[in-house]
Structure 1
């Protein structure tokens, strides 16, 4: 199998892994924001938030976007480290 075909298959697999849980999983995922909000309401019941969001995404979508952000950041860092290591190996001996 050609390298470009393998890359396309890997990319499709990654996309499916990101999209399928959004489509197939019908569950509530709790996070730190919800826990913090509950704690604030417990400690200070009269607290009023300063502002409200323009729109709210479902919690699973927020989780997936956060995971995507982390994966892209890790990929970028890995690419840069690999690039620098590759460049350092190509220097001419003196």
Structure 2
């Protein structure tokens, strides 16, 4: 592939990743119902449940950095997962390549019956 095709494909991937954030519409809250969180996760649910079980509970520490919105927190979590998957894939690939190179260097053993 040429360099311009690679850049165009990269641009399309970025656009496809970003467009859903603009297209999603926040649902309207119904009177008396709890606030609807689009990108809430299990951490928020656990915090709410702890608040119900033990209302006087105080956290041990506060976060150093608080994301500006729930969408950014979700994006950072996905980025963390992607980086972790990349590391795992890299080390599996290194292991497979090392094994293949070792077999080529030593030659494949022949079976004698």
Distance 1:3 1:75, change over 3 A: farther
Measured after TM superposition, the shift of residue 51 of structure 1 is: 3.1
In the other structure, the counterpart of 1:50 is 60
1:75 aligns with 2:90: no
Q: TM-score, normalised by structure 2?
A: 0.61
Q: TM-score, normalised by structure 1?
A: 0.70
Which structure's CA Rg is the greater one? 2
Aligned length: 93
Matched position secondary structure for 1:84: helix
Q: Trace 1:16-27 onto structure 2 (pairs within 5 A).
A: 16-27=15-26
**Segments of 4+ in structure 1 off by > 6 A?**
none
Task: Tell which has more relative contact order, 1 or 2 (C-alpha 8 A, sep 6+).
Answer: 1
1:41 aligns with 2:51: yes
Structure in which a larger fraction of residues adopt helix: 1
Identify unmatched segments of 5+ residues in structure 2: 27-37, 109-113
